[in-house]
Chains A and B, each alone.
Chain A
Amino acid sequence: NAGVTQTPKFQVLKTGQSMTLQCAQDMNHEYMSWYRQDPGMGLRLIHYSVGAGITDQGEVPNGYNVSRSTTEDFPLRLLSAAPSQTSVYFCASKRGILINEQFFGPGTRLTVL
């Protein structure tokens, strides 16, 4: 199993550009989520999904969209990038909503100029 994979590893955008961060897992996990990590802030939840077709907002959802058309994939879209979205983004998954431990991908480092 590859676990949780994320692409790209690095990305530089200009303000106003759009892009999609990809996340996939091959563990047949129901629950997937996106976090951002900023210095001194820990990891903060952006959006999450408890299953295909179901998504919900986390702590910091503004400026981001998600969809979950398959169990395996959970892309994160930035419609109009802003410098405040410069961060490291982590995707995570877990077997079910009643499970506490999550598995994380390697992260995408995004810089918005």
Chain B
Amino acid sequence: DQQVKQNSPSLSVQEGRISILNCDYTNSMFDYFLWYKKYPAEGPTFLISISSIKDKNEDGRFTVFLNKSAKHLSLHIVPSQPGDSAVYFCAATVSGSARQLTFGSGTQLTVLP
């Protein structure tokens, strides 16, 4: 049973437009959420995160929105650039002794020039 779901395996967006990547979770204990970006043949790199006490966190072109009642978060990238083409993983954790990350299956974003 996947506790973190990314239902869109792929997304294509035109350069300059907005990219919206979605993530749903089922475990109501999750209280911190992260997005990682992964290029081929590289490890995931941390992109942006949000605590459950917030509903929005912004960092440059990247904004993460959290809707706790719907157990849904989204990553907005605006404007999208070709270099943003990568696999994006959503992850969630419960504040606790080891803060394990539970990952979604990822969404391949392709930004078309």
Contacts and interface: CB of A to CB of B under 8 A. Distances in A.
* Bind each other: yes
Interface size class, chain B: 20 to 34
Interface residues of A, number: 27
Given A100-B49, A101-B34, A102-B101, A42 B43 contact: no
Contacts of B41: 106-107
Contacts of B98: 31, 48, 50, 56, 97
A96 to B, nearest CB: 9
Nearest to A49: B98
Given A104-B44, A107-B42, A107-B43, A42 B34 contact: no
Nearest to A42: B103
Query: Which of B2, B9, B44, B91 counts the most chain A CB atoms within 10 A?
Result: B44
Contacts of A31: 98
Contacts of B34: 100-101
Contact of A97 (B49, B89, B99): B99
Contacts of B6: 42
A34 to B, nearest CB: 12
A2 interface: no
Interface in B5-32: 6, 9, 32
B43 A90 contact: yes
Interface string A12-28: 00000000000000000
Contacts of B4: 42
A103 to B, nearest CB: 7
25 contacts: A40-B9, A40-B105, A41-B105, A42-B2, A42-B6, A42-B103, A42-B104, A42-B106, A48-B98, A50-B98, A58-B100, A97-B99, A98-B99, A99-B99, A100-B34, A100-B49, A100-B93, A101-B49, A102-B101, A104-B43, A104-B44, A104-B45, A105-B43, A106-B43, A107-B43
Interface of A: 4, 31, 33, 35, 40-45, 48, 50, 56, 58, 90, 92, 97-107
